[in-house]
Amino acid sequence: MALVFASLAATYIGPGFSLGFAGRGFKSGFLFLGIGLAYALQNILVGLLVAPRLRGLNGCHTLGEAIGQKYGKRCHVLAGAISVGLCAGFAAVMAKAGGEVVHDIFGLPPALSVIVVVALTALFPTIGGLRANVVADSFQFITFSLLLPLMLLLVLSIHLKGGPAAFAAQASAATVEGLSSTSTLEIIGLVAAFLLGETLIPPYANRALACRTTNVSRNSFILAGLFSMFWFMVMISLGITARSIIPADTGEDVVLLNLVKSVMPTFGRAILFVALVSVVTSSLDSLLNAGAVAFTQDVVKSFVKLSDDLALKVGRAATLAIAAVAAVGAVAVPSIIGGLLICYTVWAPSILPTLIIGLWIKNPRPLAGTLSMGVGTVAAVTFWIILWLIFKFVYPANVEIPPLVIIPALAAALLAYAAGHWIEKHKSGA
Amino acid sequence: MELLLFIIVIIGALVVIASGIWVAISLINSNKRAR
């Protein structure tokens, strides 16, 4: 179970939950710890309520297959296509973050840094598949779960002048700043995004489905959720300590990198950069693998019969193709957390109602699944574009759009599900 | 209060380190079993 837990934790602790959270700790103190707790709660709820049901399905290896088993072929393909797109989107965020770390260490041009990270990471899943992923994730988990908290202890004991009082003063000032610059509506949206946006994305779902027993599946998710609370506390605290060490105008994505450079001796700095590269690659390789598996199992195999050998080749080609899309897409990612929030906003409405309701009700209707996935995806993208146009041209303001989109888009997906269920139920008379 | 916050943060860091050690031991044991 320890290895499944480590693999889950290494997958979700990407640059967003390390570089991104340290940056948010720097700017808004413990505000983001509260928001991060929604993510921890989500993992625990998935472990208690959803993962065992998902693992209980027979012969499913991907989320698309699970949805296909409940709703039929059309929904299987649609869920697969959404999974591939989402994995490419998340991978683009990871590629941007990895590029920033490599650019910072080696001084390579930003575009070349992204290409180096993506190309090297794509080798793991291309050559080794899910098994190589899980073992690599465990090594990477060990690396960063030892080094980053040790760095926090070092900063607290040596570099932070003033001890506990100074830490509390910085935490309080940052949290007040964060609360004053974030509206209540945005906070509610952020909590919803972190509660739902990463729920059972393909790499997590693959791990839930691949567990030996339902107990291992349930306990791994619960442990991963509990662990995330402590992890977020470490990252946010690193960001808070950075306030008295690095300049106040430091960009949020480079707070942790600049802190490492400021406080660590050369040798320690090199080791910590290895840990940060591990953080990025452990998430990126899982996303590339999950995207490739979804493409092969859910999309291609639904139309063409493939031998195992040919399926492996298609999977490897898909890994490389998704890696290429991620490298190109990295240019368009606004910031690490900003990029993650955009992916959350599309994932939650497009897949969650169909998946979770399908696992709980007795006779899920194919039309309900199709409508919910279609309407959820279109609504998320449309609301996002409308709000972007409003805040760009009508009422110019620097507002984080995704948290405002997720709840209405989710509501639209739920209504579409209810409508599809009702129509098909009355058509069939059952 | 300030000291309590400080202690909670340090305990959080120690829990994360302990998790890393636990996974390291499990990985070594699973490799031994595989051999």
pLDDT in tens, B1-35: 788 999 999 999 999 999 999 988 888 887 777 76
How many angstroms away from the CA of B34 is the closest CA of chain A?
Answer: 13
Q: Once rounded to an integer, what is the mean pLDDT over residues A108-116?
A: 88
User: What does the mean pLDDT of chain A come to?
Assistant: 87
Of A109-113, A214-218, A239-243, A287-291, the least confident: A214-218
pTM of the predicted model, to two decimals?
Answer: 0.84
- State percent of chain A over pLDDT 70: 97
CA dihedral A165, A166, A168, A169 (to 10 degrees): 110
Query: Which pLDDT does position A425 carry in this prediction?
Result: 84
Over 70: is that where the pLDDT of A130 sits?
no
B28 in reach of chain A (CB within 8 A): no
Over 90: is that where the pLDDT of A211 sits?
no
Confidence at A194, pLDDT banded by 50, 70, 90: confident
CB contact under 8 A, B27 and A234: no
List the 144-173 stretch of A: residues with Cβ below 8 A of B.
144-146, 148-150, 152-153, 156, 163-165, 167-168, 171
Query: Which pLDDT does position A218 carry in this prediction?
Result: 85
How many angstroms away from the CA of B35 is the closest CA of chain A?
Answer: 15
Report the residue from B5, B24, B25 with minimal CB separation from A168.
Answer: B5
Question: For residue B8, which residues of chain A lie inside 8 Å, CB to CB?
Answer: 233
Selected residue of A233, A236, A271 to mutate for chain B interface (largest B Cβ count, 10 A): A233
Sequence-ordered alpha helix ranges (H) in A197-331: 202-210, 214-242, 255-263, 266-293, 301-303, 308-329
Side-chain half-sphere CA neighbours of A403 within 13 A: 18
**From residue A19, how far is each of A12, A160, A257, A288, A407 by CA, in Å?**
13, 20, 8, 20, 26
A2-335, CATH topology level: Sodium/glucose cotransporter (1.20.1730)
Side-chain half-sphere CA neighbours of A85 within 13 A: 14
CB contact under 8 A, A234 and B3: no
Query: Which pLDDT does position A172 carry in this prediction?
Result: 93
- ipTM for the assembly: 0.93
Question: For residue A234, which residues of chain B lie inside 8 Å, CB to CB?
Answer: 9, 12-13, 16
CA dist., res. A161 & res. A167, Å (int): 9
Report the residue from B2, B16, B23 with minimal CB separation from A168.
Answer: B2
> In chain A, which residue's Cα lies nearest the Cα of B17?
A146
Query: Which pLDDT does position A133 carry in this prediction?
Result: 67
CA dist., res. A267 & res. A1, Å (int): 34
CA dihedral B14, B16, B17, B22 (to 10 degrees): 120
**Could you report the per-residue pLDDT of A21-31, keeping only the tens digit for each?**
999 999 999 99
B14 in reach of chain A (CB within 8 A): yes
B10 in reach of chain A (CB within 8 A): yes
Query: Which pLDDT does position A429 carry in this prediction?
Result: 63
A282 versus A345: the higher-pLDDT residue is: A345
Query: Which pLDDT does position A89 carry in this prediction?
Result: 92
**Residue A107 burial (CB < 10 Å; 0-12/13-18/19+)?**
exposed
A212-227 burial, b at 16+ Cβ within 10 Å, e below that, comes to eeeebbbbbbbbbbbb
List the 237-276 stretch of A: residues with Cβ below 8 A of B.
237
Q: Which DSSP symbol is given to A395?
A: S
CA dist., res. A46 & res. A356, Å (int): 10
End-to-end C-alpha distance for chain B, whole angstroms: 52
Query: Which pLDDT does position A410 carry in this prediction?
Result: 93
Where do we find the tokens 């490739």? Answer: A292
CB A86 within 8 A of CB A348: no
The residue length of chain B stands at 35
Question: For residue A2, which residues of chain B lie inside 8 Å, CB to CB?
Answer: 22-23, 25-27
**Could you report the per-residue pLDDT of A228-281, keeping only the tens digit for each?**
999 999 999 999 999 988 888 888 888 988 888 888 888 777 887 877 887 788
